[in-house]
């Protein structure tokens, strides 16, 4: 009995020592911590794997949805929209994920909405009691023909007559018109045409809407105007500012050619073409290469296109300038006048050209050329204000046909006597005289009278008559250089001004940039064009994707591609 207290004390001491040792011992603690970290890493890695599998499946679903709805929404798609979407998912091997396809369509649009969902069957998220992780996707695509204003700016210069270019252009442009307008059953698309060569011929009716001065008194159908350089700083063309009519002159033919060549005039007069409505209710006669305001009549547009003829030089800048001007909202009153008058512009185009920022609207220019700029030549007004386009010239014609030319340099203005003794009229085949030939030389001693302007038996030609009768370089050589000396080229430049091709390139690009700044789409077609022509058209186009370099029958492919891209195809969700 006496040992029990001592035994109790011993056991207590051993227990205390054991607790102290256990408390101080670190053996095994890192193992436990390592096990915990390992479990967490496995869980995190597993979750990452599940998330990556989910994202991969979701991306696959969404990409398939987007591609399929875009294809199904196309108005040119011949299969049913639902079948198109199903086919995309079937080929992707995920048809079981497709849940719904909803199609809404009208006469000018198609909307396709599709959704899909797929269980990714998580591998590790089960540890967190997550048994499903569904990847879902939805896509809506719509193709809608909006209010589209199209201007075809087409090269009809003389070179277009080579290598069947004009024939191929007519086919391609006609197919374009039919393709674009056949899809438009709500009259939302309009197409106008601006043929250009060395100038742009407005035609009688459109020319009457502008303030055209220096009119040449020529026959109807020759309504080109000389646009000043300042015109190329804005998209519009003023209807109130004075625009000088292009002279009816051949500035290009050589000095040995007396009669002016129609093909070398800067506003060549082309023949008339008659359009007969297939239903027999309308007939219209127009000039082959005149501007046509936007309409929506397929057959009439094709008649305008097929009536074009190849003649003249190449001023791409002038063509695009008028193309942009006819799409500018400032032309709305002109359209309105023609709508009110009936016939030329349909009433469905009331309010056009639309504002540049109008909702659900698009302005499009298709610019085509086979060449590059040819330096513009214009009959000018010189620095002294002498206008060589209109008014009295220095050339006289007698009733018997003999010509006389007045040269101011032959007048001696020292005093009244020297003036009277001057002989400033050179009579062809006769020599210097005090008066023009009137059927006979004036009697000896007949004074020169500066104020005298009318002579019986002789007519003072106007400059219009001179240029309508003779080529400019012929006049420069035979009526001036051969009589008073000097070079034919210098005398030609007395009457003629030229715009360098580099300036024309700059003017073209200025108009391209102004149009693109207003979100006008420019499609450019270089049709068998030389290097600089290709460069100018490529730089003008809205992007590389809007530029086509075509040859031969490829021009039809270019126009077809443009027709298929004009309607807006976009993902809406």
Q: Could you tell me if residue 329 is left (phi over 0), alpha (psi between -120 and 50 degrees) or otherwise beta?
A: alpha
Q: Around Cβ 116, how many Cβ atoms within 10 Å?
A: 26
Cis bond upstream, residue 353 (ω within 30): yes
Alpha-carbon gap, residue 242 to 225, rounded angstroms = 10
CATH placement of domain 147-201+270-375+500-571: 3.40.50.410
Alpha-carbon gap, residue 404 to 458, rounded angstroms = 9
3-state DSSP call for residue 420?
helix
SS3 for 193-229 is EEEECCCCECCHHHHCCCCEECCCCCCCCCCCEECCH
What's the angle, vertex CA 315, arms to CA 331 and CA 525, rounded to 5? 85
Of the CA atoms within 13 Å of residue 184, those in its CB half-sphere come to: 25
- Give residue limits of the domains in the chain: 29-144, 147-201+270-375+500-571, 384-496
Backbone angles phi, psi at 462, to 5 degrees: -80, 160
Model pLDDT, residue 494? 96
Beta strands 547-550; 403-406: pairing state: unpaired
Model pLDDT, residue 21? 60
Q: Give CA separation, 452 vs 394, 438, 445, in Å.
A: 13, 14, 16
Copy the structure tokens of residue 406: 């007045």
Give 191's strand partners.
150, 295
Alpha-carbon gap, residue 245 to 224, rounded angstroms = 6
Directed axis angle between helix 316-325 and helix 531-540, to 10°?
20
Alpha-carbon gap, residue 440 to 437, rounded angstroms = 6
Question: In a 10 Å sphere around its CB, with 0-12 CB exposed, 13-18 middle and 19+ buried, how is residue 271 labelled?
Answer: exposed
Q: Give CA separation, 61 vs 95, 122, 301, 572, in Å.
A: 10, 17, 45, 17
Nearest to 213 by CA among 225, 203, 204: 225
Q: How far is CA 343 from the centre of its chain?
A: 26
Copy the structure tokens of residue 534: 């290709």
Q: Around Cβ 523, how many Cβ atoms within 10 Å?
A: 27
Round the CA-based radius of gyration of the chain to a whole number and report it: 41
Question: CA torsion, points 203, 521, 297, 276, in degrees to nearest 10?
Answer: 40
Q: What is the pTM of this model?
A: 0.78
List the pLDDT tens digit at each of the 573 positions of the chain.
Answer: 444 555 555 666 666 665 566 555 555 566 666 676 766 666 665 566 656 666 777 888 889 999 999 999 987 788 999 999 999 999 998 898 898 999 998 756 789 999 998 776 665 555 555 656 677 889 998 887 689 999 999 999 999 999 999 999 999 999 999 999 987 888 899 999 999 999 999 999 999 999 998 877 666 678 999 999 999 999 999 999 999 999 999 999 999 999 999 999 999 999 999 999 888 888 999 999 999 999 999 999 999 999 999 999 999 999 999 999 999 999 999 999 999 998 789 999 999 999 999 877 899 999 999 999 999 999 999 888 899 999 999 999 999 999 999 999 999 999 999 999 999 999 999 999 999 999 999 998 899 999 999 999 999 999 999 999 999 999 999 999 999 999 999 999 999 999 999 999 999 999 999 999 999 999 999 999 999 999 999 999 999 999 999 999 999 999 999 998 876 655 665
Nearest to 119 by CA among 53, 68, 67, 62: 53
Copy the structure tokens of residue 103: 């199609």
Copy the structure tokens of residue 12: 């207590």
Model pLDDT, residue 275? 93
Alpha-carbon gap, residue 135 to 317, rounded angstroms = 55
Alpha-carbon gap, residue 245 to 422, rounded angstroms = 37
Alpha-carbon gap, residue 129 to 323, rounded angstroms = 68
3-state DSSP call for residue 528?
coil
Under a CB-based contact definition with an 8 Å cutoff, are residues 556 and 533 in contact? no
């Amino acid at each position: 009995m006496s040992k029990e207290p001592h035994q109790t004390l011993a056991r207590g001491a051993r227990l205390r020592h054991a607790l102290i040792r256990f408390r101080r011992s670190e053996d095994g603690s890192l193992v436990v911590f390592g096990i915990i970290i390992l479990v967490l890493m496995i869980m995190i890695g597993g979750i990452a794997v599940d998330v990556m599998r989910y994202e991969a499946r979701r991306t696959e679903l969404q990409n398939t949805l987007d591609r399929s709805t875009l294809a199904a929404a196309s108005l040119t798609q011949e299969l049913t929209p639902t079948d198109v979407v199903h086919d995309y998912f079937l080929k992707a091997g995920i048809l079981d994920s497709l849940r719904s396809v909803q199609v809404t369509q009208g006469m000018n649009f198609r909307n396709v909405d599709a959704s899909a969902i797929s269980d990714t069957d998580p591998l590790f998220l089960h540890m967190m009691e997550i048994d499903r992780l569904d990847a879902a996707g939805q896509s809506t695509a719509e193709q809608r023909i909006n209010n589209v204003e199209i201007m075809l700016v087409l090269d009809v210069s003389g070179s277009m007559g080579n290598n069947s270019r004009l024939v191929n252009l007519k086919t391609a442009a006609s197919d374009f018109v039919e393709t674009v307008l056949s899809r438009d059953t709500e009259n939302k698309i309009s197409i106008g045409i601006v043929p250009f060569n060395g100038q742009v011929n407005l035609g009688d009716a459109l020319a009457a809407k502008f303030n055209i001065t220096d009119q040449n008194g020529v026959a109807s159908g020759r309504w080109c105007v000389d646009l000043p350089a300042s015109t190329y700083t804005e998209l519009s063309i003023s209807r109130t500012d004075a625009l000088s009519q292009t002279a009816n002159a051949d500035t290009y033919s050589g000095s040995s050619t007396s009669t002016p060549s129609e093909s070398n005039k800067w506003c060549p007069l082309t023949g008339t073409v008659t359009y007969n409505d297939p239903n027999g209710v309308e007939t219209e006669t127009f000039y082959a290469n005149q501007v046509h305001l936007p309409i929506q009549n397929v057959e009439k547009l094709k008649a305008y296109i097929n009536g074009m003829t190849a003649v003249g030089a190449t001023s791409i800048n002038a063509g695009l300038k008028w193309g942009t001007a006819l799409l500018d909202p400032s032309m709305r009153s002109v359209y309105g006048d023609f709508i009110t008058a009936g016939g030329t512009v349909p009433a469905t185009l009331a309010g056009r050209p639309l504002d540049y920022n109008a909702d659900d609207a698009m302005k499009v220019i298709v610019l085509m050329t086979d060449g590059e700029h040819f330096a513009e030549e214009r009959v000018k007004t010189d620095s002294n204000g002498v206008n060589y386009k209109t008014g009295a010239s220095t050339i006289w014609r007698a009733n018997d046909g003999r010509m006389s030319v007045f040269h101011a340099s032959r007048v001696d203005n020292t005093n009244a006597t020297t003036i009277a003794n001057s002989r400033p009229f050179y009579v062809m085949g006769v020599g210097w005289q005090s008066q023009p030939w009137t059927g006979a030389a004036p009697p000896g001693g007949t004074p020169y009278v500066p104020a005298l302007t009318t002579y019986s038996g002789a007519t003072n030609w106007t400059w219009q008559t001179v240029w309508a009768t003779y080529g400019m370089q012929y006049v420069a050589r035979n009526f001036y250089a051969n009589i008073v000396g000097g070079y034919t080229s210098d005398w030609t430049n007395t009457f003629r001004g030229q715009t360098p091709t580099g300036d024309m390139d700059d003017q073209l690009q200025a108009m391209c940039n102004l149009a693109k700044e207003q979100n006008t789409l420019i499609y450019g077609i270089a049709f068998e064009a030389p290097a600089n022509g290709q460069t100018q058209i490529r730089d003008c186009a809205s992007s590389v994707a809007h530029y086509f370099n075509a040859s031969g029958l490829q021009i039809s492919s270019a126009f077809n591609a443009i027709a298929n891209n004009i309607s807006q195809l976009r993902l809406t969700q």
